[in-house]
Amino acid sequence: MALFIGFVDALPILGSGTVMVPWAILCAINGDLNLGIAIIVLLIIMSVARQILEPKLVSKNIGVHPIFTLIAMYTGFKVIGIMGLLIGPIVLIIFKNIFASLIDQGVFKTIFDRK
């Protein structure tokens, strides 16, 4: 069941709640109220942990602040649709690396130091 929930969670728009909420309801209807409540509690814990930890982990791994990643995802979505959710952050990382290397080479310093 965990593999199936993980697969559904990886799909855009759908999440783990798409599987876990109906599963909890069916357990409660079938008389296993404790399991139904446990599934809902697990879903809440997963959601809270994901909302708190995921932006920090993603920003640490790619070296970009989470707000810029969200802006890149939104901009990519508005420009090219669903694929923009993936392409936007990739373009952001490419631009970040280009500008970081230009700053390291001193290109911007020479441009702004002209008199």
Q: For the chain, which residues make up each domain, given as ranges?
A: 1-54, 63-115
pLDDT at position 108, please?
63
Say how far apart CA 54 and CA 44 lie, in whole Å: 15
Tokens of 30: 């079938």
Write the Ramachandran bin of 106: left for phi over 0, alpha for psi from -120 to 50, otherwise beta.
left
pLDDT for the residue 79: 93
pLDDT of residue 48: 86
pLDDT score recorded for residue 101 = 76
The gap between the terminal CA atoms of the chain, to the nearest Å, is: 67
Q: Using CA atoms, how far apart are residues 44 and 52, in angstroms rounded to an integer?
A: 12
Is residue 69 within 8 A of residue 60, CB to CB? The reply is no
Query: Which of 66, 67, 70 has the alpha carbon at shortest distance from 57?
Result: 66
In 3D space, the residue among 70, 64, 66 whose CA is nearest the CA of residue 94 turns out to be 64
Tens of pLDDT along the chain (115 residues) come to: 888 888 887 776 788 889 999 999 999 999 999 999 999 999 999 888 888 877 777 666 677 777 888 888 889 889 998 888 888 888 988 988 888 777 777 666 666 665 5
How confident is the model at residue 110, as a pLDDT?
A: 61
> What is residue 43's predicted lDDT score, i.e. its pLDDT?
92
User: Measured between alpha carbons, how far is 55 from 73 in angstroms, rounded to an integer?
Assistant: 13
